[in-house]
Structure formats: structure tokens, C-alpha cells
């Protein structure tokens, strides 16, 4: 029989190691502020028996207003436009805006994680990894075909990525840039705190150019 495949969900990956040192340095004050913001909450957790900030995931304030990140946001917006075009969308009458961009870091004491979720009202989501290794957490993606999950059959070989998979994961390293459709459910499994784990998370929405001027969002037009 002739095989055709439809409704694929792409994940685009590129290595940009030349940005790691600069973006990691620029993100330091954002992570410090995020840790300071959580200090009171961490104290309460310690009082009830937690070890230090175990299990904590630090989420920074938005990066978009900071012009020091402009080169990064410009590039990722250009690549996001390319991804949407590659997926078959007519982008001629659309501009891209960032709905959010932030830096995230997991607790040095381990157990940091983020369960499966999506980013509604966006078209592209993505990660740029600043601190990561084979010993840290990694991104997981879940099959977006909701009707497939309740009827899942046993896989012939769970070590291979096939149409039978319902969850896949990626090994990443500092400098890995990943972009994917924002409807894809993604997660970070429990990190063991062996090595630092930090990344920038972005969400982008395509907006029609003729309504962009009235688009009520605290975002900049990057494309």
C-alpha cells in the first residue's frame, strides 16, 4: 500500500553556541531577581521541612523590553517566520509579536520540573538553552493528537521514534535553539540538581498587519 502522512507536528532545532556566554551573562540579574522574589516562599518551605529551595523553578520578569536581548529576539522572530512559512502558512500579511520571553532556571538542590502544558493564543513557542547537559532535565513533547492517547497500543520498539510514540524527548546542550508550534504540549521532567539548568523560553504570535496597530498587547513588533 502507498503510505501518506498528514498533520505532522515539526520541531525545529539549530545550534547557536556563539550566543551562550553573552546571553547567560545578561540573564544573571534576571535570575537573581527571580530568586529574590521567591525568597519568602522558600523560607516558608524550609520551615515545613523542605531542604533549601528544593523543587523550585525560577521564572524571570519579561526580557522583551531589554534592548540587550534585541539581537536574540530579532533572530528568533526571523526564524519563527521561516518555520511558519515552512509549515505552509501564508505569512505575507502577518507580523510577529512576542507575547512573552523570559529566562528560567531550576533549583540547584534538585527536583525542579514543569509538567505538560501548552501556550494558548500563540503560534510559535521555543527554548534557547544556556546551561544544560546530559545530567540535567530536558524538554519532553507529548503527542498533540488527543484522540490517539486513549486508544494507545503497545509499541514494537520504544527506543525508536515512530507514529506509535506518545512522548518524545531531546538531549540539549548550551546553544541549542528549539522552535515548535505553540499547540504542542511540552514539559521538563524532574531535574536532579547535579548541574545547573537554565534556558530562555519564548512565545510568539502572528498578527495581521492591518490590525497590529490596535493589538492590545505589551509586546514589540519584531517581524
Question: For residues 146 and 139, what is the distance between their CA atoms, to the nearest angstrom?
Answer: 20
E strand residue ranges, 107-165: 114-117, 124-131, 139-142
Domains in the chain, number: 1
Closest by CA position to 101, among listed 81, 80, 126: 126
Res 184: pLDDT:
93
Rg from Cα positions in the chain: 19
Is 30 in contact with 69 (CB distance < 8 Å)?
no
Res 55: pLDDT:
61
**Splitting the chain (223 residues) into consecutive groups of 10 residues, what average pLDDT does each group show?**
88 97 97 83 58 70 95 97 96 93 84 80 96 91 78 82 84 96 90 87 93 58 57
In the block, residue with C-alpha cell 540587550: 68
In the block, residue with C-alpha cell 509549515: 87
Helix, strand or coil, per DSSP, at residue 170: coil
CATH number of residue 153's parent domain: 2.60.120.620
Helix, strand or coil, per DSSP, at residue 92: coil
Res 195: pLDDT:
87
Report helix, strand and coil shares of the chain as percent, to nearest 5.
25, 25, 45
146 to 1, 5, 152, 183: CA distances (angstroms): 26, 17, 11, 12
Res 144: pLDDT:
86
Q: Which domain holds residue 107?
A: 12-44+51-214
Q: How far apart are the first and last CA of the chain?
A: 44
pTM exceeds 0.75, yes or no: yes
Closest by CA position to 128, among listed 42, 190, 63: 63
- Tell me, yes or no, whether 159 lies in a domain: yes
Res 218: pLDDT:
46
Closest by CA position to 215, among listed 89, 121, 79: 121
- Tell me, yes or no, whether 223 lies in a domain: no
- The phi and psi torsions of 66 (rounded to 5 degrees) equal -85, 115
Amino acid at each position: 500500500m502507498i503510505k501518506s502522512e498528514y498533520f505532522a507536528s515539526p520541531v525545529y532545532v539549530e545550534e547557536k553556541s556563539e550566543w551562550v556566554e553573552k546571553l547567560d551573562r545578561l540573564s544573571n540579574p534576571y535570575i537573581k531577581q527571580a530568586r529574590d522574589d521567591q525568597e519568602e516562599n522558600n523560607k516558608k518551605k524550609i520551615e515545613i521541612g523542605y531542604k533549601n529551595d528544593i523543587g523550585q523553578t525560577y521564572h524571570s520578569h519579561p526580557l522583551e523590553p531589554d534592548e540587550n536581548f534585541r539581537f536574540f529576539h530579532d533572530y528568533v522572530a526571523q526564524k519563527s517566520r521561516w518555520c511558519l512559512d515552512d509549515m505552509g502558512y501564508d505569512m505575507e500579511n502577518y507580523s510577529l509579536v512576542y507575547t512573552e520571553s523570559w529566562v528560567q532556571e531550576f533549583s540547584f538542590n534538585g527536583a525542579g520540573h514543569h509538567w505538560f502544558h501548552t501556550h494558548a493564543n500563540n503560534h510559535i513557542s521555543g527554548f534557547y538553552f544556556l546551561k544544560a547537559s546530559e545530567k540535567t532535565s530536558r524538554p519532553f513533547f507529548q503527542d498533540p493528537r488527543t484522540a490517539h492517547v486513549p486508544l494507545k497500543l503497545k509499541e514494537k520498539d520504544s527506543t525508536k521514534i515512530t507514529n506509535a510514540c506518545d512522548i518524545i524527548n531531546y538531549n540539549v546542550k548550551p546553544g541549542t535553539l528549539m522552535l515548535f508550534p505553540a499547540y504542542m504540549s511540552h514539559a521538563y521532567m524532574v531535574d536532579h540538581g547535579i548541574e545547573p539548568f537554565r534556558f530562555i523560553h519564548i512565545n510568539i504570535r502572528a498578527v495581521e498587519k492591518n490590525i497590529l496597530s490596535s493589538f492590545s498587547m505589551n509586546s514589540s513588533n519584531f517581524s
